[in-house]
Amino acid sequence: MKSLAELDKLREKLQEEMRLREGREDVKVVVTMGTCGIASGAREVLTAILEEISKRGLKGVTVTQTGCAGLCHCEPLVEVERPGRDKVTYGHVDEKKAREIVVSHLVNGQIIKEWTIK
């Protein structure tokens, strides 16, 4: 930090990230963060999702985390929930796929069916 302006910018960025995780929005994105998910890269997936949402200035999206979903062989998992629609679960998500899920599913409303699990 070299100036108050840089500190203010960092504070605003962190406050925006916290707002995304508070749970008062329309679309909910859940990343499974059990030990199997973390070992498979779930932390990096969560970070990529938060960065992409912030970069695109998306509003109405909450990002949360949960424990193990019992599908260890498919980790990391990302679930997208929209009111009035079925939950979509993506498996074997990496950072690149996470960013594409934000663009395709959250921005454009297009489910990437080949990445989903049932």
In this structure, is residue 5 part of a structural domain? no
Helix (H) or strand (E) holding 13: helix 4-20
What is the tally of structural domains in the chain?
1
What is the CATH classification number for the domain harbouring 101?
3.40.30.10
Query: pTM for this one?
Result: 0.77
Q: In the structure encoding, which two tokens stand for residue 12, read together?
A: 């605003």
Which residue would you say has higher pLDDT here, 16 or 74? Answer: 74
Which pLDDT score is estimated for 18? Answer: 66
Give yes or no for a contact between 76 and 32, defined as CB atoms under 8 angstroms apart.
yes
In this structure, is residue 6 part of a structural domain? no
Which pLDDT score is estimated for 25? Answer: 52
Query: Measuring CA to CA, how many Å separate 17 from each of 30, 47, 107?
Result: 14, 10, 18
Query: Containing domain of residue 97, as a range?
Result: 24-115
Mean of pLDDT over the chain: 88
Give Dmax (Cα) for the chain: 50
In this structure, is residue 109 part of a structural domain? yes
In this structure, is residue 67 part of a structural domain? yes
User: What's the CA gap between 58 and 27, in Å, rounded?
Assistant: 10
Residues 36-46 have a mean pLDDT of 94
Which pLDDT score is estimated for 21? Answer: 57
Residues 34-56 have a mean pLDDT of 93
User: What's the CA gap between 42 and 46, in Å, rounded?
Assistant: 6
Tens digit of each residue's pLDDT (9 = 90 or more) over 49-95:
999 998 998 888 889 999 888 888 899 999 999 888 899 999 999 99
In this structure, is residue 15 part of a structural domain? no
